Amino acid sequence: MSGDTNGQRSGIFSKAPRITELDNGVTVISDAMEHLATASLGIWAGVGARDEQADEHGISHLLEHMAFKGTRRRSARDIAEEIEAVGGDINAATSVEHTSYNARVLGEDVPLALDVLADILAEPAFDAEELEREHNVIVQEIGAALDTPDDLVFDLFQERAFPGQPIGRSILGTPGSVRSFDAARLRTYMGRTYRPARMIVAGAGAVEHERLVEEAAKRLGGFAAGDKPEPVPGRYQGGTEIGGGRELEQAHLLIGLEGLSYKDPGIHALQVFCNVLGGGMSSRLFQEVREARGLCYAVYAFHWGYADTGLFGVYAGTDGGDVGELVDVVVDQIAASVEEMTEPELARSKAQAKVGLLAALESSGARADQLARQMLAFGRPIPLEEIVSKVEAVTLEDARAAGRALIAGGRPTFTALGPGKPLESAARIAERLSVG
């Protein structure tokens, strides 16, 4: 092993997270939560949809699906039965920048769970019949997404914000791209992107660090040292995309602007601004759009941070006849939040942020995920006190300035599904967010 260190101590934990880097660059991090009898653990790879080349659209997600379809030592049924025989569960997920393979078991069964997780990455079988079946499963998943407008509108939103770029493509891929991938393509992609320097083994709960390290070294030591190629940088462009061709009870719409990377020093001020605008029932959007005017059931603001860019947005679903008024109010509230935000609103937003951080400490799964993502993003676990201090340091003027910078960032993104003419008018209203 190349090193065993402790992360910076946090007053919330009885012990600091322990960190060991294996000889080939894989990092093992654990947080023993001594009041728990179960453990959550997994392997996170800093690989996602934005690492795909043009002819690889959807391959990251397919690879994640194939993880549970058998290895050289285990069949797909063996994988499920071994984990469930000890009362555990196993899952995986793909995002724009990460893929994770996770399990939750009793503490005594951590070695078994990590052996299974490592096995599916180190020695996947990629059986041809299993692969063909999974092609069909994902094509059905794509169809389900296309039939779900409040999901589809988010895919349109990402694509319109970052057109013609890997970061803007849907994670699922297309039926044609998914069916084009065979075992050789999967192995080539995995060999290029699943590199130890961007792989994290993380555990929280009833975990013993030494056992995690021992199993990780044994099962993941064969991955060749080195890092993966850097993804294509994200270039926000914005614009309008209105989808039609279907009868919907509601119009689903998103209004967005270029955000910040999670590495940007202004990220906490922007998140505070986002919460004031649309982060809960006391937010400006909820109170004005839903409570005062009754224009929708759901309305909220969000921000997605990536390694080199970000995306801010407001989602709402409403009746076609109310679209114009709703977008008008949203645009006005974004501008009003910049100039009229109050100290009580600032305090509520900060409290929301702190509760969100603390919630991760109440779940071993959330804690393991938090540690792995912090290691991938920053190369170290971030003590809770450090994050809280940065949130607390945000002043009223900081939050207002974050909103001003957001509005000044460029052309807005507007995507919607529903009746065409009202949405076209709403898109013109959304353009009022443009500056200059």
Q: Which residues are catalytic?
A: 64
Give the DSSP letter of residue 301.
E
Q: How buried is 322 (Cβ within 10 angstroms: 0-12 exposed, 13-18 middle, 19+ buried)?
A: buried
- From the centroid of its chain, how far is CA 31? 22
- Evaluate the CA torsion angle 432, 433, 434, 436 in order and state its sign: positive
- Evaluate the CA torsion angle 59, 60, 63, 64 in order and state its sign: negative
Both tokens assigned to 337: 């939040």
Both tokens assigned to 343: 């100290």
Contact 163, 239 (CB under 8 A): yes
Q: Which is it for strands 251-258 and 413-417: parallel, antiparallel or unpaired? A: antiparallel
- From the centroid of its chain, how far is CA 430? 26
Q: How buried is 436 (Cβ within 10 angstroms: 0-12 exposed, 13-18 middle, 19+ buried)?
A: exposed
Sheet holding 99-106, edge to edge: 3-6, 18-21, 27-32, 199-205, 38-45, 99-106, 89-94
Sheet holding 251-258, edge to edge: 239-243, 413-417, 251-258, 310-318, 299-305
Rounded Cα distance, 409 and 262, in Å: 16
Half-sphere exposure of 313 (CA within 13 A, CB side): 23
Map residue 272 onto helix, strand or coil: helix
Rounded Cα distance, 292 and 236, in Å: 34
Contact 313, 277 (CB under 8 A): no
* Closest by Cα among 141, 147, 143 to 243: 147
Tell me the CA distances in angstroms from 158 to 260, 261, 310, one per residue in order.
Answer: 15, 15, 11
Rounded Cα distance, 224 and 198, in Å: 12
